[in-house]
Amino acid sequence: MKAMEEKILKEGEVFPGNILKVTSFLNHRIDVEFLMEMGKDIAAHFASSKPDKILTVEASGIAIAIAAASVLKVPVVFAKKHAGKNMTGDLYGAKVHSYTHGNDALITVEKKYLSKGEKVLIIDDFLAIGNAVNGLMDICTQAGAETVGVSAAIEKGFQNGGDSLRSKGIDVYSLAIIDSMDDGVINFRA
């Protein structure tokens, strides 16, 4: 999605440790008009896979999942990182290391919200090493659901999470793939 590359070049900020900050339009302030364009683009790619459900993880994945789901007309389930008093059912869980927060989190989904045989599209804001996506796929496997695809707003191609999934035959669609961002210079995959 050319518009995503342009948005990253215009508004993204690179910090040491290969941190790309896109808080101006995606994960703190959300440019909702642009978000809906992102959703349309993801939905167009995966329409033929006919997902029954979109699965993401709180918090930053929720917005883009909603945008795609509003076009595909399917529900969203967001895995919880911080289970509260309102999580009372039987749970699927997976341990996920957060690159941004530097800790491990147990992400959970109530069993009744993922069913055997369902086609699931996994969406997140970032795809880097792939920890969150692998955790969500693990949860799908536990449920007997099928991951029909993975989509990210921004893939850090140099961290290989996306390519590792592609090598397993998974349809991975990222709106922009960054192949390097050394010295603050962002290069996208051709």
Binding site for its own copies (CB under 8 A): 15, 17, 19-21, 23-24, 27-33, 35-36, 58-60, 62-63, 66-67, 69-70, 73-78, 80-82, 84-89, 98, 100-102, 109-110, 113
Among 133, 151, 122, 43, smallest CA distance to 97 is for: 133
Q: Given the complex with its own copies, which of 40 and 163 has the nearer CB atom? A: 40
Closest CB 180 distance from its own copies, rounded Å: 19
Q: In 10 A of CB 132, how many CB atoms?
A: 29
Cβ-contact 26, 48 below 8 angstroms: no
Q: Given the complex with its own copies, which of 9 and 59 has the nearer CB atom? A: 59
Tokens of 26: 């995606």
Exposed, middle or buried by CB within 10 Å (0-12, 13-18, 19+), for 121?
A: buried
Q: Given the complex with its own copies, which of 58 and 179 has the nearer CB atom? A: 58
Tokens of 104: 């491990």
Q: Given the complex with its own copies, which of 128 and 165 has the nearer CB atom? A: 128
Closest CB 19 distance from its own copies, rounded Å: 5
Closest CB 79 distance from its own copies, rounded Å: 9
Strand 91-98, strand 103-110: pairing: antiparallel
